[in-house]
Structure 1
């Protein structure tokens, strides 16, 4: 497995692969890898000749009061998992390699896609995401890039970006991977105490409650959001950041569900902000 630490090294590796006529799948991550990340790697391996995984904690997508410094960094363990998973190359640059002195370019998707959900709560977050992902796509020459549904808003933003800019990469969204308890896998779960981890189960429980009611025929967005919020409020350790329901993938306001819709929640469990979601209606094919 190749470990690449500079943008030029990644670009040179990608060019060497492309010269052979092989295809490339990219899995962008911030490390602290878990089974959810590895499910993306598995899907990538089935779809392309070579798999590149980036492990980069991107400072540009963190706000001034967020957890950039504390974000878990476990590269040696991550590299071992990726090698065992059959990854061909890992891109692990330092921040100064991605954003050297004089760096002055950002990419921003504006409008409804980034003005709500996590975009409303984390100003500048999706600008940082779009900037780093576009750079990774250009450097890697990826034919496909894989992201998890847990970050469904991110997927919608990135699909808008590549459509607008004419980037020839397919953005593929893979299903959320959950523990047997229902808790969505997340690197931030490491911040939770045992009691908080138990409390965090309320996220998936609330979404499932709304899903079950939807399956009985309830299609009103207001009702489904209320059901979710009521369930979340039953957990004393949970502080609701948002409960929202929008059409997917365009994230427009809707009163009733007639096509795929994203029911999304963000909740503080103690000091840790967790997100989760479910797609109601026919899920987009991944």
Structure 2
């Protein structure tokens, strides 16, 4: 099983042109002046600190749309921990340099908080039919209201045909699909596979905060998920979760927050393996006081 990321090599645009917008009004003016043939707009929402996982989303968006918007915005309303918000890496110039490798049809929307939220920096309340109360929702109160708020705002600003999200945040992906369905938004949500570092660690902007030795040893997370997947076909669900818990208790480098095996559609924990359902194992781990999440399809 290949877990190494595919490195995309893009030729820079001929004039190295980069369209960067920090105000939604100017972004909308730009769209108004574009050729009417640019009918398909792809959106890749990010919080910056771009890595190869983000680049793979942009690559797919470029291949499926006439124009692509990459948003770079660290959204305050989805952080329930102010320290985590403050420590989140902000690398706008480096991100711009990476996006310059694409052609001029990839543009950046990097707004200030007031451009997105005006005077009221607060999340709206959403009903995601219970998806928001599972896993991350249990440990990060209000997180998915913040996610729903910013994604909805970006959809209203950019008006994309397609929007691209990585499966590392699988719960987020399912919640966004639910929001689009319930509010009848004309956006196609595209889920893209998890990209991993050479040792199997799921790519994340948070990885930059890990000590080099910890980052190397973090292969343990994915290795444990792979073993859990092997066990899932023959062992009881609770036995698999208990085994994972014990494995982390024996490893002093990591602190397990949760391991849950859930129905992919409802995200509810399951107790038995039915052939008619698709299941996924979800995990959250602390390393160097950095919170890492990952998941794996089990069948």
What TM-score comes out, normalization by structure 2 length?
0.88
Counterpart of 1:284 in structure 2 is: none
The match for 2:189 among 161, 168, 171 is: 171
> Which 4+ residue blocks in structure 1 deviate beyond 6 angstroms?
none
Distance 2:197 2:263 in 1: 27
CA distance in 2, matches of 1:155, 1:247: 14
Distance 1:13 1:262, change over 3 A: farther
Closer/same/farther in 2, CA of residues 102 and 34 from structure 1, 3 Å limit: closer
Aligned ranges 1:29-44 → 2 under 5 Å: 29-44=46-61
Q: What is the CA deviation profile of residues 28-54 of structure 1, one whole-angstrom value per residue up to 9, with x for unaligned ones? A: 000000000001011111111111100
Quick one: structure 1 residues 13 and 201, their matched pair in 2 at CA, closer, same or farther if it must change by over 3 Å? same
- CA drift of 1:261 comes to 1.2
Match of residue 234 from structure 1: 250
Q: Are 1:263 and 2:281 counterparts? A: yes
Q: What does residue 11 of structure 2 align with?
A: none
Q: Say yes or no: does 1:244 pair with 2:257.
A: no
Deviation at 1:104, TM superposition (A): 6.4
Comparing 23-32 and 197-206, the one that deviates more: 197-206
After TM superposition, list the pairs within 5 Å mapping 1:1-286 onto structure 2. 1-17=18-34, 19-86=36-103, 88-102=106-120, 106-214=124-232, 217-218=233-234, 220-257=236-273, 258=275, 259-281=277-299
TM-score normalized by structure 1? 0.91
- For residues 18 and 267 of structure 1, the distance between their equivalents in structure 2, rounded to whole angstroms, comes to 47
Unaligned residue ranges in structure 1 (runs of 5+):
282-286
| More divergent stretch after superposition (23-32 vs 113-122) | 113-122
Name the SS for the 2:132 alignment partner: coil
Measure how far apart 1:21 and its partner are.
4.8
Distance between the aligned counterparts of 2:30 and 2:280, measured in 1?
A: 38
The offset of 1:103, in angstroms, is 5.9
Distance in 2, matches of 1:44 and 1:106, equals: 28
| Cα separation, 2, equivalents of 1:103 and 1:268 | 29
Contact 2:199–2:216 (CA<8 Å) still a contact in 1? no
Deviations 1:174-215 (A, max 9, x none): 11100111111111111111232133222111101111223x
Change (3 A) 1:21 1:197: closer
Ranges in structure 2 where 5+ consecutive residues have no aligned partner: 1-17
Contact 2:80/2:140 (8 A) holds in 1: yes
C-alpha deviations, 1:243-284, integer Å up to 9, x for none? 011111321232223322120000111211100100112xxx
- The aligned length equals 279
Tell me, in whole angstroms, the C-alpha distance in 1 between the residues paired with 2:283 and 2:34: 40
Q: CA RMSD in A?
A: 1.8
